[in-house]
Chains A and B, each alone.
Chain A
Amino acid sequence: MSTTETYSHIQEIITKQFADKVFNFQETYGMLSFEAPKELNLEVLGFLTNHPELGFAFMTDLCAVHFPDKKGAELQVVYHMHNLEKNVRIRFKVSTAIEDPTVASAAILYPTANWMERETYDFFGVIFTGHPNLKRILNVDEMTYFPLRKEFPLEDQTRIDKDDEMFGRGGNLLTQSLQN
């Protein structure tokens, strides 16, 4: 079977189970991706893993993306699942509002999700309910914000108000020459 056929077959199986609850099926750059409401995330993951024809049992990756413009669905959690036997990959997404960033944790089902969810919490503030040990992992525990959210832009590299002469920006010499 060609990949496109495989993907339409997979899509059929998934829509048969979840009807119109799953949406936005897309095939981008050789990977099928779809979305579901966040309440269904464990149900969908369990179905992807346990269905005899799908068998996406290996969790390759879990991360989040922040879309500040999508009101009510600002944070998106992305799962990459892999069927190692048939060598097919699939991408599955759930979205959550930033005011209530809770998503059910998959760490009990997939031990590998444990740290990946901690990392996602650490950087995006997605609260994975039911996680055995949801605390920061790469950043310091005292941190009060979630740095990968888009409201924290990196410093503008062209700013000149800093006295940072040794690093080639601002500094007394440059400010003086600008004033003259």
Chain B
Amino acid sequence: MFDARTPIPLPEGSIEQQTTTLNLGPTHPATHGVFQNILQLDGERIVSTEQTVGYIHRAFEKLSERRPLYQITPITDRLNYCSSPINNMGWHMTCEKLLGIQTPKRVDYLRIIIMELSRITDHLICNSIVGVDTGAFTGFLYVMQYRELAYEIYEEVCGSRLTTNIGRVGGFERNFNNTAFTKLEKFLAEYPKVLKEFENLFNRNRIFMERTQGTGAISAERALAYGFTGPNLRAAGVDYDVRIHSPYSSYEDFEFDVPVGTTGDNYDRFMVRNGEMWQSLRLIDHAYKKIQEFKGAEAEVFHAEVPEYYLPKKEDVYTKMEALIWHFKIIMGETAIPAGEVYHSVEGGNGELGFYFISDGGRTPYRLHFRRPCFIYYQAYPELSKNAMLSDAIITLSSLNLIAGELDA
């Protein structure tokens, strides 16, 4: 029983300690995901940070060693779930690289439309959450309906919204229907105005600028040393973009700019992401125009002719013998996969998403490693938040675009 006369035993040294220990997370509303940080605070200033990660580790790499190719696609959905289509397509392109499959141009352009849409939805979430953390909730709610519209486009193409499992090795499961294109046109027509208004709300907003400028800054040298990629690296002034350095899915056919920052602080990260959304819109618009140029039979192409790896149409599976055989062989992983090791990377929503795939010729990968950008750059957080105010460190956490699903794999 509690006796008020006996003193509560305190850990040794805790009275002499000059700092306060604060457990931020793992389930704190301000961390937007399962992140735990044990902070040493001097007043409101952060002296040191110790991160704990792995709360939602789901053993993706181990699971992949037992799964045929198509069963790994849903795993990639759950990495960076704000832009799952990029992960899905990155995985399919890795398989295509190993299997030596060439995709038709129309497939590449359709993929670009979907990937750039998901880049927009990814950046949209990140930037509007930075807004929420600085006290502006309006922007977040205002742009959400356009994320919804983008999700409806995914829905038309693959049937699902967040964890999309979109596409196949060699292309898409079905051609884009008219509704998908109508919705895309609506998106292209209306979203620029919304994004402009979103920018009006933040870019020159004094409160926002004072909260974000100069906080969470990192120099280009340190960012490179920490393995930063994606918008976070570009905000520090390094124009590395996988889409330009190692073009995939015919990105070389397009012209677009790579926005870069100078200081690598929260404001620059925000501005780089906004700039990228404009570039993504430009890419989508251009890709859509190119798709309309296809005529005749070419205009109906939505996958490469690779029956060994491309799942046949469901109607055919039910009615045709050959399709049924392929269906079973592919699902059971009985089609031949060459032995070899391949590294393929795509520009994900928050950096270079790499797939290191070692195949021994068996039905499942011998080893599959995901290079998860936010796992790698989250290491820099103690350095970014050192000597910062607690409330600024929260903004830094958001503006790094950390996604717990990707971080913990």
Contact = CB atoms under 8 A, between A and B. Distances in A.
Contacts of B57: 138-139
Nearest to A147: B62
B356 A80 contact: yes
Contacts of B358: 65
Q: Give the bracket for the number of chain B residues in contact with chain A.
A: 35 or more
B340 A138 contact: no
B354 A57 contact: no
Interface string A94-128: 00000000000000001110111001000100000
Contact of B224 (A58, A140, A147): A58
A157 B65 CA distance: 13
Interface core residue of B61, B65, B343, B358 (most chain A CB under 10 Å):
B343
B245 A154 contact: no
B226 A112 contact: yes
Contacts of A61: 343, 354, 356, 369, 371
A137 B246 contact: no
Contacts of B352: 60
Interface string B50-90: 00011001010111011000000000000000000000000
A111 B379 contact: yes
A65 B359 CA distance: 12
A115 B373 CA distance: 12
Contacts, number: 87
A156 to B, nearest CB: 9
Contacts of B380: 111
Interface residues of A, number: 37
Contacts of B371: 60-61, 80
A100 to B, nearest CB: 22
A110 B380 CA distance: 12
A28 B338 CA distance: 12
Nearest to B239: A84
A115 B379 contact: yes
B376 A116 contact: yes
A29 B356 contact: no
Contacts of B343: 29, 31, 61, 80, 89, 91
A112 B377 CA distance: 8
A66 B340 CA distance: 15
Contacts of B354: 60-61, 80
B34 interface: no
A169 to B, nearest CB: 15
B238 interface: yes
A140 B380 CA distance: 22
Given A31-B343, A91-B343, A112-B225, A65 B376 contact: no
14 contacts: A57-B224, A58-B224, A60-B345, A60-B352, A66-B367, A84-B245, A110-B227, A111-B226, A112-B227, A112-B376, A138-B53, A138-B57, A153-B66, A154-B62
Given A139-B57, A154-B65, 6 more contacts: A57-B224, A78-B356, A84-B238, A110-B225, A140-B54, A147-B62
